[in-house]
Amino acid sequence: MSLDLDLTPPPTPYTRAMTDKTSPEQSSAEPALDENRLMAERRAKLRQWREGGQAYPNQWPATHSADTLQAEYADAAHWTQDRLAEQCIEVAMAGRMMTRRVMGKAAFADLMDGSGARLQCYVRRDDLPEGAYAEFKSWDLGDIIGVRGSLMRTKTGELSVAVTALMLLSKSLRPLPEKWHGLSDQETRYRQRYVDLIVNPEVRRVFEVRSQVISRIRRFFDQAGFVEVETPMMHPIPGGATARPFVTHHNALDMDLYLRVAPELYLKRLLVGGFDKVYEINRSFRNEGISTRHNPEFTMLEFYWAFADYQKLMDFTEALFADLVQVLPQLTDGALSYQGMTLDLASPFKRLSLIDSVADALGEAHPQTLREPETLRAHCQQHGIAVDTAWGWGRLLTELFEALVEPTLIQPTFITGYPIEVSPLSRRNDQDPELADRFELFMAGREVANGFSELNDPEDQAARFKAQAEAHAAGDQEAMHFDHDYIRALEYGMPPAAGQGIGIDRLVMILTDAASIRDVLLFPYLRPESAPH
């Protein structure tokens, strides 16, 4: 192939708009054009395609991906044009045409494939079968195409494919957002994540990190001797957490079922059955509010470890986080930047009791007074915290903690010593039976994990279930029901154990510097939209 032409490529992706100088869609008047008109033009092209033969073909075996080619042949000094021509490296690729610049009998186009990377294609009329170049020029940006050819390098050093065969594989009937502005409306980005992933490449990296985090969690627990299990997503009785459940109905059994709020009680049944180490990466559902930190459907890691206690669990959690940050090679000595804050994930995490943390926030010199309901009510009133007359000192103290302390916990911190009143499934502390052997892990001002030594005394658990059921009957929609089968399981004997839940979504938010939980969910829940036109 002669390379005496001027092969100067189009501008770099940082300066180049998503434009096509041969297409009426990308004229200077593009912003004023009606999208329906553009779609009508594309549908007309689709009709012509159908009339010409088989539309939407399903046979274009790709042999290479853009990312691997860019990595393998990145060294322009070694992989010169002469060397590439000598090697005659044939490749076949398929992806979405993102840019195109036509210069008479030749054109440049950028192809973005499933790797998320791009590779430039050099398309010349004389290298294609009769009529193929004219057909190529009729295609639109966003169309999915297949190309085949040999690797080359332009005079400016850009790796490219000299195309000798190409095919339209899928028609894009809707024009992509203009490159300069992209898809900037947040709600549209969440609602049309498929477009967001196309035009905002950095979004893809967030979900690649999410996948790597989950994969690494599995590897960490498998290597530690845990067994991954699956438990029911529909429960006859909601349990495992104090949360309002979603309700559904099973027609054949004529009974209501609840989408699980947590898998805890089923996982602990497995401890009774003889599994000493179990974990589940699960989808759970809570019929509560939506915010930047809450989605009705979310992913959790829950694990349970027989013959361990909550102190051992805190050490294990530090080791888990030290392992997880390895998916982020840009970290320096375990320092992670999140929303302008620098988090130290390498050093041992701080440990502080809940009572002491609230006492520090209130400037209270005598923490023991924070078990007096009237004192706590006065503090709540002073700080504008609404309270219920039925709440005991444990719930009041926890409300003060959430309002005054939690937002200040930037560095990873274990908060311990939660009151039994707000810990219905936790083991009582031997020295202080009003407190639970429980911790929560906070970082960046939010809860990331919750763990405790498990309550395996069936009579104590039955009494707490009874108190929860009474609260539910009194109107607390988040209180637990009385689970008779779980009590029966405990009566067979559950070994001493510790367990923990970690919110995967919030963890990924921190690891990817995401401000909202919607940024780490591919398809977050939104209010219904009107039917798309």
Per-residue pLDDT tens over the stretch 151-198: 999 999 999 999 999 999 999 999 988 754 555 678 888 999 999 999
Q: Quick check: is 450 in a domain?
A: yes
- Backbone torsions φ then ψ of 297, nearest 5 degrees: -115, 130
Q: Is the pLDDT of residue 65 over 80?
A: yes
Q: How far is CA 331 from CA 53, 212, 322, in A?
A: 53, 15, 11
- Supply the pLDDT for residue 22: 45
Same domain? For 208 and 153 the reply is no
Residue 366 located in a structural domain: no
List beta partners, residue 446.
443
Q: How far is CA 413 from CA 75, 79, 178, 340, in A?
A: 46, 51, 45, 18
Do residues 143 and 210 both lie within one domain?
A: no
CB-CB contact of 107 with 128 (8 Å): no
Q: Which pair of tokens denotes residue 304? A: 């349970």
Nearest to 306 by CA among 92, 493, 496: 496
pLDDT digits (tens, 9 = 90+) for 447-482: 999 999 999 999 999 999 999 889 888 888 778 889
DSSP β-ladder status, 227-228 and 247-250: unpaired
Task: List the one residue out of 21, 167, 26 whose CA is nearest residue 108.
Answer: 21
The last residue of one of the domains, among 117, 151, 180, is 180
Q: What is the mean pLDDT of residues 13-27?
A: 39
Same domain, 163 and 210: no
Q: What does the pLDDT read at residue 478?
A: 76
Q: What is the pLDDT of residue 33?
A: 54
Tell me: do 210 and 172 sit in the same domain: no
Neighbours of 302 (CB within 10 A): 24
In this structure, are 157 and 35 located in the same domain? yes
Residue 9 lies in a domain: no
User: Average pLDDT for residues 56-65, to the nearest whole number?
Assistant: 94
Band (pLDDT 50/70/90 cuts) for residue 243 is confident
Residues 6+ apart with CB under 8 A from 468: 242, 424, 479, 480, 481, 482
Q: What is the mean pLDDT of residues 7-17?
A: 33
Provide the residue range defining the domain that includes 55.
24-180
pLDDT of residue 420: 95
Q: Is the pLDDT of residue 531 over 80?
A: no
Mean pLDDT of the chain: 89
b/e per residue 329-354 (b: at least 16 CB within 10 A) = eebeeeebebeeeebbbbeebeebbb
| Per-residue model confidence (pLDDT) at position 184 | 61
Rg (CA), the chain: 30
Which residue, 124, 150, 180, sits at the end of a domain? Answer: 180
User: What does DSSP say about strands 227-228 and 277-285: parallel, antiparallel, or unpaired?
Assistant: parallel
DSSP string of 299-331?
EEEEEEEET--HHHHHHHHHHHHHHHGGG-TT-
What's the CATH number where 474 sits? 3.30.930.10
Pairing of strands 335-338, 118-124: unpaired
Mind listing the pLDDT tens digit for each residue in 29-43? Answer: 344 457 789 999 999
| Tens digits of residue pLDDT in 128-158 | 999 999 999 999 999 999 999 999 999 999 9
State residue 346's pLDDT score.
82
Same domain membership, residue 153 and residue 41 = yes
Residues 418 and 320 in one domain: yes
Residue whose entry in the numeric block shows the structure tokens 């908060």? 415
Same domain? For 76 and 136 the reply is yes
Confirm if 146 and 93 have CB atoms less than 8 A apart: yes
